[in-house]
Structure 1
Amino acid sequence: MPSGARFVTTELKDRPSITMAIMFKVGSRYETDEQAGVSHFLEHMFFKGSAKYAGAKEIAEAIEGVGGVLNAATDKELTMFWARVPRTKAKLAVDVLGDMLFDPLFDPKEVEKERLVVLEELRMYLDSPQEYVHSLFEQISWPNHPLGREIGGTEASVRALTRDDLLGYLNEHYLLRNMVVTMAGPLNQEEAIGLIEPYLRPRGNGTVPAFLPSTGNGLSPNVLIKQKKTEQAHLCLGVHAPSYMDKDRHVIDILNCVLGEGMSSRLFLEVREKLGLAYDVHSYVNKMFDTGVLGVYAGTEPRQAARAVGAIVRQLRRLCEEPVNEPELTKAKEFYKGRLLLQMESTNSVATWYGGQEALTDRIEDVEQTVAEIDAVTADRVMGVARELFSQALQLAVIGPFRSETPFLKQIA
């Protein structure tokens, strides 16, 4: 569009719902240490009232009053606001999201009340070791870097943010040139643009913000222990991985499926079924613009924690030492493709799948292209990527009743 805003519409004539999402290419990665948590704080404030919808109650009732869902999420590189409503209520979804995002009130009293809510959310997260250990893993993977910071910031940074800080960050980052509107459901591109365009109001100077480039993976194995009296030890270990711009972005997806996605994956069968060391053990991949991470999580009895780490590391080494056999490779591909296709049943998933690609990569790979890329992955390339990944030093975060990192260092060295 002339304003710089981009629109992505997926017409699905047979669907009973419509999803609209508005995405801004901004998140915790774009923040300075002093601004830590401002993207997440802003996400909360957009729900606290706008010119047409006076407060949180009015915003929620407008969407929930038709059985719809309204939500938002802040990540490291993207902030998204979305609504899913019955197909006849598309104009309502556009009206609510448009007014929230382009005519927000930011009432000073609401800022102070919501600050308390954000702080409670941070405390809740810190009290959930199975969640918090992932933040510690990112901290040790990107020390002294925005990628290693908690998305919500810290208590100190959130307490220090002022209303002027929020408005300043809003005008710097929430620009039309930095925005993608994506809709999926029984409407076409022309109809979608006609609905949302009247709400788009320019702000800021139009310059798309930049972020600090990623730093390399640690050169030596490191263990970060958060000593806490828990019934179960929580472990997260891994290395840097290909970005969503990398030619091997789909190879790492298949490697991850082989390693730790689902109850037939290697980690599940070995660490849980064979050794009985964990109830929950799985691997995951997070991709960003210039980096990514392959992580493994396990929850285990504290006395078995070091042994569990050793069992996980053996599976990582196995990927480097022997090619995945054809039946296992086929299973991993079918798993990935099947989950992707099932995901496309929801207008919410369709809208965010296509819109997220446009927002982050400036290009769109459709489902058929992705399936073809997955089918082209070979066992040799999976082993080649594994060798590249695990030539890096492993980084490990642990929460539990531990005083020494030595037993864990022995396992990841």
Structure 2
Amino acid sequence: MAAAAAVRSKRRLLPHLYRLLHSTAAPSLDRFLRHASPVPRAADHSPFLRLPAARVSTLPTGLRVVTQSYPAATRMASVGVWVDAGSRFELPGTNGTAHFLEHMAFKGTERRPTANALEVEIEDMGARLNAYTSREQTTFFADVQGRDVPAALDVLSDILQHPRFPQQGIQRERGVILREMEEVQGMMEEVIFDHLHTAAFRDHPLGDTILGPTENIKSISKKDLQQYISTHYTCPRMVVSASGAVDHDEVVDQVRKLFTGFSTDPTTADQLVEANPAIFTGSEVRVENAEMPLAHIAIAFKGSSWTDPSSIPLMVTQSILGSWNRSIGVGNCSGSALARGISNGGLAENLMAFNTNYRDTGLFGIYTSAPPDALHDLSRLMMEEFRRLAFRVSETEVARARNQLKSSILLHFDGSTAVSENNGRQMLTYGRVMPFLELFARIDAVDCDTVMETAKEFIIDKDVALAAVGPISNLPELSWFRSQTVSDDTFTSRVLSLFSQNN
């Protein structure tokens, strides 16, 4: 039965693969060349990107301040503290501390003894105070009117330097985080990517979840919180970023006066990462649940670090793979060959290519959700598309991908919050703010040869990490996925041979 099903699967899929891989005419893609030359060139984007340059100052303590001011009718500003510390820097047995600390920072200080006092002060300014924790960074930021930037800096410096960590507040926050964990368990994309990190980085903190396991949430103590903040919230690992209606010199003066209680320990995040590098393990996590209507799957290769020269070619490659959702439609008209194949074959409900960067490694791959009876065909199509990237990429689709990538970047920067976040993150990852003109010039330099070379480096003969949840009995074994990446310069003829045998 299984063999017969596999034969029927090939018969349905191979004609499409043949057309996809060997079609010489691509009228549906030619329209993208109306807006970009197929030949890489140094395009002049300056008329569209006339933003004031970011200014950076480094205080004697090692704390860096970056600002980017620009005129805005609303006179709003965003200011925040970006810390080079996240869940990957936690001690063994304390996973979840960085996220717990983020919650507790808003529970009162010596000058603002209660969470209510802090909330009233923020609301009276008409401001918004928020924070988030990732695997490598923690961020605390405020969106305020330009005139209230000094007050926002005072609040941020206070909650990070003088948190009270009241025992009653710690106990209350345990329940809040446990409820948050329950909510996350209902968000399949979050669940899949946590499983994917476990599969990709087993027995390493980068493979742990950000929230931590239940037993840790129930046991994290005031001492754990104090130790984490004193160890990792150091001046050389912190950046104050402000954008919008701000004045650089004024912000620097305020930071110099307010941020005086942090350690000046010169140890950098790079040194900590070098001492405990993340090793891509290429394993799998499968959670069978036959009652779920769809199978959720993520397939990933080891990606690049933030500063790896391949990081931008991988961004363009991610754009080539694209994203798609059945509810939105336009599958047949998509610039993504993979999206068109999935849409034509009715193989999945959605598709999202991803390219996640860390200090020393990354994850590059595809996330999708699909009905269980389509998993074999879907897996074959995705792996063939991965392989195609290394051998047969047209300049047409690369031009489309460059356009789409640049547009998505510009669309993201729709306010002072996004600009402040971008500058703070880039100061931590690059040590500087990369101007748009430089970033776009790097993107425009990526041609089809660069994409194919990058795909050969990151995909061909490389290990695969797999995470899958749901009715996944029809999903091929990990060894099958790995076998689809083997070096074979005649893979096209192999597809043609199989096509001939079945017709």
What range is the shorter-chain TM-score in?
A: over 0.9
Q: Find the partner of 1:107 among 166, 174, 177.
A: 166
Cross-structure match for 2:68: 10
Closer/same/farther in 2, CA of residues 84 and 122 from structure 1, 3 Å limit: same
Alignment partner of 1:357 is 2:426: yes
The aligned runs of 1:235-274 (5 Å cut-off) are 235-261=297-323, 264-271=335-342, 273-274=343-344
CA RMSD of aligned residues (A): 2.0
Are 1:13 and 1:187, in contact at CA under 8 Å, matched by a contact in 2? no
Q: 1:251 is paired with a residue of what secondary structure?
A: helix
1:15 offset after TM fit, Å? 5.3
Q: Find the partner of 1:176 among 217, 231, 235.
A: 235
1:246 offset after TM fit, Å? 0.5
Corresponding pairs, count: 408
Are 2:109 and 2:164, in contact at CA under 8 Å, matched by a contact in 1? yes
Give unmatched runs, 5+ long, in structure 1: none
Provide the TM-score with structure 2 as the length reference. Answer: 0.77
Cross-structure match for 2:408: 339
Question: Which is worse superposed, 358-367 or 133-142?
Answer: 358-367
Question: Which is worse superposed, 299-308 or 23-32?
Answer: 299-308
Question: In the alignment, residue 311 of structure 2 is paired with which amino acid?
Answer: R
Cross-structure match for 1:330: 399
1:161 offset after TM fit, Å? 1.6
Q: Find the partner of 2:147 among 51, 72, 88.
A: 88
Q: Find the partner of 1:227 among 288, 293, 317.
A: 288
Cross-structure match for 1:215: 279
The aligned runs of 1:243-392 (5 Å cut-off) are 243-261=305-323, 264-271=335-342, 273-323=343-393, 325-391=394-460, 392=462
CA offset digits 1:117-173 (Å, max 9, x no partner): 112222322233232011111111111111111111111222222111111111111
Tell me, in whole angstroms, the C-alpha distance in 1 between the residues paired with 2:481 and 2:412.
37
CA offset digits 1:286-318 (Å, max 9, x no partner): 101111111211111122223322221121111
Tell me, in whole angstroms, the C-alpha distance in 2 between the residues paired with 1:380 and 1:403.
38
1:204 offset after TM fit, Å? 4.1
Are 2:296 and 2:469, in contact at CA under 8 Å, matched by a contact in 1? yes
Q: 2:122 is paired with a residue of what secondary structure?
A: helix
Question: In the alignment, residue 4 of structure 1 is paired with which amino acid?
Answer: G
Question: Which is worse superposed, 54-63 or 146-155?
Answer: 54-63
Q: 1:216 is paired with a residue of what secondary structure?
A: coil
Q: 2:144 is paired with a residue of what secondary structure?
A: strand
CA offset digits 1:79-127 (Å, max 9, x no partner): 1111112223222322222221122111111011112211222232223
Identical residues among aligned pairs (%): 26
1:261 offset after TM fit, Å? 4.0
Question: Which is worse superposed, 52-61 or 293-302?
Answer: 52-61
1:266 offset after TM fit, Å? 3.0
1:380 offset after TM fit, Å? 0.4
Question: In the alignment, residue 288 of structure 2 is paired with which amino acid?
Answer: Q
Q: 2:364 is paired with a residue of what secondary structure?
A: strand
Question: In the alignment, residue 390 of structure 2 is paired with which amino acid?
Answer: C
Closer/same/farther in 2, CA of residues 238 and 130 from structure 1, 3 Å limit: same
CA offset digits 1:44-87 (Å, max 9, x no partner): 11011123333333333333344432211111111111111222
1:388 offset after TM fit, Å? 1.1
1:43 offset after TM fit, Å? 0.6
Question: In the alignment, residue 141 of structure 2 is paired with which amino acid?
Answer: W
Question: In the alignment, residue 64 of structure 1 is paired with which amino acid?
Answer: E
1:403 offset after TM fit, Å? 5.2
Tell me, in whole angstroms, the C-alpha distance in 2 between the residues paired with 1:361 and 1:185.
22
Tell me, in whole angstroms, the C-alpha distance in 2 between the residues paired with 1:299 and 1:216.
24
1:327 offset after TM fit, Å? 2.4
Cross-structure match for 1:68: 127
Are 2:236 and 2:264, in contact at CA under 8 Å, matched by a contact in 1? no
Give unmatched runs, 5+ long, in structure 2: 1-58, 325-333, 484-503
1:409 offset after TM fit, Å? 4.6
Are 2:375 and 2:474, in contact at CA under 8 Å, matched by a contact in 1? no
Q: 2:354 is paired with a residue of what secondary structure?
A: strand
Are 1:72 and 1:81, in contact at CA under 8 Å, matched by a contact in 2? yes
Q: 2:349 is paired with a residue of what secondary structure?
A: coil
Which has the greater radius of gyration?
A: 2
Q: 1:22 is paired with a residue of what secondary structure?
A: strand
Closer/same/farther in 2, CA of residues 286 and 380 from structure 1, 3 Å limit: same
Q: 1:397 is paired with a residue of what secondary structure?
A: strand
Tell me, in whole angstroms, the C-alpha distance in 2 between the residues paired with 1:11 and 1:20.
11
